[in-house]
Structure 1
Amino acid sequence: MSRSGTQEGRVSWRLLLVILLLAFVIAAGWFWHDFSRFAVTPLRVSATGESVDIERGTSFKDIVHQLRSQGLTTSSPLYWRVLAEKMHVAGRLHAGEYAVTQGITPEQLLTAMAQGKVMQRDVTIVDGWTFRDVLQALAKADKLKHETSGLDDAAIMQKIGAPGEKPEGRFLPETYAYVKGDSDLDILRRANEAMKKTLASLWEQRDPNLPLAAPYDALILASIIEKETGRADERPRVAGVFIRRLQKNMLLQTDPTVIYGMGSNYTGNIHKSDLTTDTPYNTYTRPGLPPTPIAMPGKPAIEAALHPAAGDALYFVARGDGTHVFASTLEEQNRHVACYQLKRCQ
């Protein structure tokens, strides 16, 4: 071969090498541009409340397959692998349920999975609910395991570490966060512990000379206050009435306890015959406090029971607008009943 031919061959190979290198640079540049766009482009979230649930032991490849099958992404699994390697999280993704909200990017989702920021839900125990109400709310809670099904009250209390306790009033009204895998027993255990701590703390700060022998008495009284009024300004006044009646050995004569004692026989109205029908909860026929709370009292109701307002009122009656009028004598109370209950105001 001539020298000129050799030189032409070398030029051709160099040109080809340049072309290949240029093509590689262009392809790499395009890949990196497209990859960078993918990392910060929101996933295809079609509905609020959407989530991705990663089972324990799921491989990275299967995680990406799951995201694709849910329609959250159409991007190449290679992009997801490169992103995970770039973030140093490929082998550190935690199992669990993760919220997929509008606007979330692949980068943000992988960060959440690497940090184990699993999706949280809330369930609220409302002030004044009964234990039956609490169980019904837990039964409706999404993604909460229902382990109380088929258990009676005694078995439930045994399961949460409070054997021998009656459940009514034992759970602090509050909002409790939970994650998939938690159970209704977990929520009850936490709410029971919260009530114990709250009650113990408030009991230590109680007013002196209250006719309450133990924290449980305060819990019972607080539950009555909770059912009698929802007004913050009235709770201490209502508490004062009941405390004075206890001190004077007067019957408490409070309708909510009667209603609780009626159970399923209560249909929305209370009659005179109900007030004379004896049950353990009828405070018109039995002296002192009922045997258990009648609802879940909130912290403000417990505080009111332990710090009642001073005064001489021994009676109160509902005005019909959510407020009450108080009286210190039976005569005055009868006038209020005639006016606000019987609509015979003079």
Structure 2
Amino acid sequence: MAEDFDEFFSDNTQWVEDHGSAVSASAPPRPPKSRKEMRRRRAQRRRRSLISVIVTLVVLALIAGGVLFGYHRLKAWSEARDTTTIVEDYAGPGTGDVAFTVESGQGPAEIGQNLVDQDIVKSVIAFTNAVASSNATLYPGTYQLKQQMKASDVAAILSDQTKAGGFLEIKPGERVSTVLANVAKIDGANVDDFTTVLKGKGDGILPSEAAGSFEGWLEPGVYTVTNRSASDVVKDMVDARVAKLDDLGVAASDRKRVLTIASIAEAEVNKDEYYGKVTRVIENRLAKDMTLGMDSTVAYGNDVEPSMITQAMLDDASNPYNTRQNKGLPPTPISNPADKAIQAAINPEDGDWLYFVTVNLTTGETKFTTGTVDEQNAQFEQYVNEYKTGNENAN
């Protein structure tokens, strides 16, 4: 309205030029000098008004577009959130009884899928979420579960090692006889089948260089036994051992020798720091055509613990494992050695040691002789006396 009034006033007013004094700075703008200038000013005002309208419309359009875009994004996020939070799960506690086996090396997703396949849990994501939220560690073995259980209940059971059954753990340094004794303790395992396999020649299971003996060829670890044949379980153990030797770069022709030396070191060593020295002692004695003189091999040949060795056993040269009487390595490994012992057999430490004596039973301190043969013999006698004071077993 004010703009129309200004135009009317401009169109109907006669203006005269002021030839007088200067206009004050606070005075209103000077009027146009002609109608042409009035028309120009009106055109400028109209253009400014039009531009203002256009700018306003553009800003409103951008705001409307942003609101619409944000609405769709919010809706999509909300729908996705609703989708991901809907996890199918049974209410529990489940019905019936079902034996479920977790294999060594399986992860939560694979275990979850197997649980779904047996209708123990409703969905894989329900189980994996339960495992993650409780930071659970899942143990191999066979568990007694029910069908249609709540996922969190299943995760709690599978992470409780006391509830696991049907698996066999082989520990470093164990003999085959110990493995068989442990198999006999497992419910559902047929110890007779395992005895037949492990006391046999290993056809189709052992590599040829093993010469028909499983001793030393069983890789330490945890193996599922329930609902599996003895030959399959034992083959897994042997395959894992061969794969380990391959990874360490041991040639097939050297496998038996490496395992034998490693198994002796495993039986003789009480601290990791001594593995490399003991394997060097063995190599040095072999190089000098000396007997190894290891009580651990004598004990193995008589199927007793070293503490049970008698003088008659030490004197019995008919025992091929009596390395006090017979030179060279024993016919087979005497246990299933650990990785550190195998690595020490592959790369013994450098040294001239020929004897070692564990002089302190409490601390496990072991002393190694060095120098000339005569010097080492003298040191050996000294260490033996020191051992006798502490009632240790010398080599």
TM-score past 0.5 threshold:
yes
Structure 2 residue identity aligned to 1:269:
M
RMSD: 3.8
Decide which of 228, 233, 241 is 1:195's aligned counterpart: 241
Shift of 1:297: 1.0
Shift of 1:267: 8.4
Percentage identity across aligned positions? 27
> In 1, distance between residues paired with 2:383 and 2:286?
22
Shift of 1:173: 1.2
Per-residue CA deviations over 1:210-258 (Å, capped at 9, x if unaligned) read xx97221111111100100142111111111111111222211111001
Q: 1:319-330 to 2 correspondence within 5 Å? A: 319=359, 320-321=361-362, 322-328=364-370, 329-330=376-377
Question: TM-score w.r.t. structure 2 length?
Answer: 0.54
> In 1, distance between residues paired with 2:277 and 2:152?
57
Shift of 1:310: 1.1
Q: 1:125-136 to 2 correspondence within 5 Å? A: 125-136=170-181
Corresponding residue of 2:214: 167
The answer to whether the aligner puts 1:186 opposite 2:232 as a matched pair is: yes
Corresponding residue of 1:113: none
The structure with the largest alpha-carbon Rg is 2
Taking a change above 3 Å as real, the CA distance of residues 242 and 99 of structure 1, as seen in their structure-2 partners, is same
SS of the residue aligned with 1:52? strand
CA contact (8 A) 1:228 1:256 kept: yes
Per-residue CA deviations over 1:273-330 (Å, capped at 9, x if unaligned) read 4322211011111111011111111121111111111122211111212331211201
**Divergent runs of 4+, >4 A:** 106-109, 161-164
Taking a change above 3 Å as real, the CA distance of residues 151 and 142 of structure 1, as seen in their structure-2 partners, is same
Structure 2 residue identity aligned to 1:334:
E
Bigger relative CO (Cα 8 Å, ≥ 6 apart): 1
Corresponding residue of 2:93: 43
Per-residue CA deviations over 1:40-77 (Å, capped at 9, x if unaligned) read 433169xxxx95249xxxxxxxxxxxxxxxxxxxxxxx
Corresponding residue of 1:236: 276
Shift of 1:189: 0.7
CA contact (8 A) 2:314 2:322 kept: yes
Taking a change above 3 Å as real, the CA distance of residues 343 and 156 of structure 1, as seen in their structure-2 partners, is closer
Higher mean alpha-carbon deviation, 231-240 vs 147-156, is at 147-156
Q: How many positions carry a matched residue from both structures?
A: 248
Shift of 1:161: 5.7
Question: TM-score w.r.t. structure 1 length?
Answer: 0.61
Per-residue CA deviations over 1:62-106 (Å, capped at 9, x if unaligned) read xxxxxxxxxxxxxxxxxx9xx89xxxxxxxxxxxx76538x9418
Mark the runs of 5 or more structure 2 residues left unpaired by the alignment: 1-85, 101-118, 124-141, 155-163, 371-375
Taking a change above 3 Å as real, the CA distance of residues 183 and 230 of structure 1, as seen in their structure-2 partners, is farther
SS of the residue aligned with 1:123? strand
> In 1, distance between residues paired with 2:380 and 2:143?
59
Corresponding residue of 1:73: none
Taking a change above 3 Å as real, the CA distance of residues 144 and 252 of structure 1, as seen in their structure-2 partners, is same
